[in-house]
Every structure is written in C-alpha cells, then in structure tokens.
Homo-oligomer: A and B are copies of this chain.
Amino acid sequence: MAKHDPDLSRVFHALSDPTRRAIVAALAQRPLPVTALARPTGLSLPTVLKHLACLEEAALVVTEKQGRTRICRLHPAPLAVAEGWLGAQRTEWEARTDRLESYALALMKEART
C-alpha cells in the first residue's frame, strides 16, 4: 500500500512552505538570480539559499552559475507529476461516487416496480 515515493514526498514538501511557493511563482515568470529572489522575501540570503537547495532537491528548480551570480530557473516537470497524482486521487474518488450514484438510481428504479 505505502509505496514510498521519495520524489513526490520531496516535491510536496518543497511546496509546503510559502516562501518556496513564492520562489516557484516568481520563477514561473522568468529566471532570476538568487539576490533578486531573496529581496521580496525579507529573509537573509543563507535562509533563501536553503530554500533553494530544497527546491533543487525536488528538481523544481535548476541553477547555473554565471560569473558571480547564480541564475535560477523553474523546471516544471515535477509540477506535472504532482498534478498527476492529485488528479488520480480525485479521479478515483469521483469513480466511486459515480458507482454509488448509479447504485442508488438502480435501487430507486427497483423500488418503483
């Protein structure tokens, strides 16, 4: 039952923090260097770097050093994976409610005879 899926765990964990979600949202618009990401958060640079490391471990962000600045880009594939998992659960749930509904309809039809 409990298939340990380290990827999903890392992605969901990365997205569970508002600072990291803000970083993802910013990088969805355009690549940015670390300092530009840090400024609007009001957090210290080392703190933001830790958040970035967390996002990189989840493969949500890739970075590349250019001279003395590090450019960060969004890597959207894990977003799609997470989205797929969520959709699958919703689909399962909806399939069950559909089965319940048709069962209820069948009962009503039978009661009418």
Residues of A within 8 A of B (CB): 1-5, 8-10, 12-13, 15-19, 21-22, 24-26, 28-30, 40-41, 74, 76, 79-80, 82-83, 85-87, 89-90, 92-94, 96
A88 to B89, CA, bound (A): 19
A25 to B28, CA, bound (A): 29
Known: A24-B89, A79-B86. 18 other contacts (CB 8 A): A2-B19, A2-B21, A2-B40, A2-B41, A5-B18, A8-B18, A9-B17, A13-B13, A13-B16, A21-B85, A25-B92, A28-B92, A76-B89, A76-B90, A76-B93, A83-B83, A83-B87, A83-B90
A85 to B16, CA, bound (A): 12
16 contacts between A and B (CB under 8 A): A1-B26, A1-B41, A2-B19, A2-B21, A2-B41, A9-B17, A16-B16, A24-B89, A25-B89, A25-B92, A28-B93, A28-B96, A29-B96, A79-B90, A82-B82, A83-B90
